[in-house]
Amino acid sequence: MQDYAESAFLIDPRNRDILQGKKKPLFEHFPFLKALKLARRGQALRGEVIFCARVRDGSGDLVVHMKYRFRAPDGRAIESVERFSGVGLPGETLPAPQTPIVVYYAADDCYSVL
């Protein structure tokens, strides 16, 4: 059963390009859909950091890149990269490889590091 927000999006003809794969996934355009799906169907899974580093983007802002892995409920290994602002973290120690993390997972295209 689809959530109301997902159903409303799917029947709107203005969203045809997104549905046909010509644009980014829905969650990149509408973050509230990801939050809604995680809130309704999410579960906490164990994962681990593979690599974590601070980098400067094109405008000079500090960004943290963290590559991590976890296992989906069906046992498949999933690896992903999370990028987030490092503005408040210039002197903080970043997690080392194999540091345990928690991933909140609802589907293969809908998960987030907590």
Give 22 or 67, the one with higher predicted confidence: 67
Per-residue model confidence as pLDDT tens digits over 57-107: 777 778 888 899 999 999 999 999 888 876 666 667 888 999 999 999 988
Give 106 or 39, the one with higher predicted confidence: 106
Predicted TM-score (pTM) of the model is 0.67
Q: How confident is the model at residue 10 (pLDDT cuts 50, 70, 90)?
A: very low
Tokens matching residue 20: 């046909």
Residue 1 has pLDDT above 50, yes or no: no
Task: Identify the residue whose tokens are 């295209």.
Answer: 109
Residue 24 has pLDDT above 50, yes or no: yes
The helix/strand/coil state of 51 is strand
DSSP-assigned beta bridge partners for residue 69: 48, 79
Task: Identify the residue whose tokens are 């909140």.
Answer: 104
| Amino acid occupying residue 98 | Q
